[in-house]
Amino acid sequence: MAIFKGAGVAIITPFHQDGSVDYEKFGELIEYQIANGTDAIIVCGTTGESATLTHEEHLDVIRYCVEKVDHRIPVIAGTGSNCTETAVYLSTEAEKSGADALLLVTPYYNKATQNGLYQHFRTVAEAVKLPILLYNVPGRTGTTLQPETIVRLCRDVENIAGVKDATGNISQTAHLMSIAGGCVDLYSGEDAIIVPILSLGGKGVISVLSNVAPRQTHEICSRYFEGDVEGSAALQLKAVPLVEALFSEVNPIPVKKGLELMGMCGGRLRMPLTEMEPAHAAKLEEEMKAFGVL
């Protein structure tokens, strides 16, 4: 059974002006997501600025999220690292904290071989009992997890369930699903191509867009699964200009600005991420209004 079906939010981590985690705002964001139909919360991923959280902060944010959600929807904890030992540590601690599943990013910077990636993910998976989603995002990591390696991992390792595909390469994704034989749970990691991913057998999306438009992102998926493919596609296409604005600068700079425009958080980022350029921010505000979230 899939970890979740539908729209999971890759939730931001809000910060106070002094840079500490703003747990009050974080709790409000979690409640907003659940109230608006989000099907899962993915915490401490790229959008959650995991790269600049200390290990202690990282685990504290996961614990808080698990406790706040309180089993209402699945919580998937981002616990990947380019260091296998660190990924094992974060993953085992997240399991102790009560997370429902884990999201493991492809190791970055090291540029491991496909065999090295296989051994890395297998080592982490064997250290826990939780179901695991691989996170294939070569634009961030410099390494592509090839379809054959994904299938091998899902077949060989019982608790590796599938992949968040943020390659943006729909042909490669089609190849993956053609050789998977049903063993890979596929989730879109690109908000602009949710419907194409669903059409290839995807279970849903792990979404940045959901931060500012949770109800609409959920509906893209739910309409598709209910058989209203035309309605799903129409909503997907309507969202494209907003998605483009949300990625006009590196994620999560624009989505934090979007939540700031909605009055839902202060929008503070941790260096080396910096304030959104005014022209991009103006365009984001325009597209949020056009999509009906402002």
77 DSSP β-pair partners: 43, 102
Whether residue 162 contacts residue 186, with contact meaning beta carbons closer than 8 Å, is answered with yes
> What is the distance between the alpha carbons of residues 232 and 262, in angstroms, rounded to a whole number?
25
Q: Which residues contact 150 (CB under 8 A, 6 or more apart)?
A: 134, 136, 163, 176, 180, 184
Return the bridge partners of 188, or none.
Answer: 165, 205
Coil/strand/helix, residue 126: helix
Name residue, tokens 């290839």.
200
Tokens 């350029």 -> residue? 277
Beta bridge partners of 207: 9
Provide the 3-class DSSP secondary structure of residue 112: coil
149 is in an annotated binding site: no
Active site residues: 135, 164
Is 143 marked as a binding-site residue?
no
Rounded to a whole number, what is the largest CA-CA distance in the chain? 50
Element of type H or E holding 161:
strand 160-165
**Contact of 153 with 176, CB cutoff 8 Å:** no
Binding site for pyruvate: which residues? 47, 206
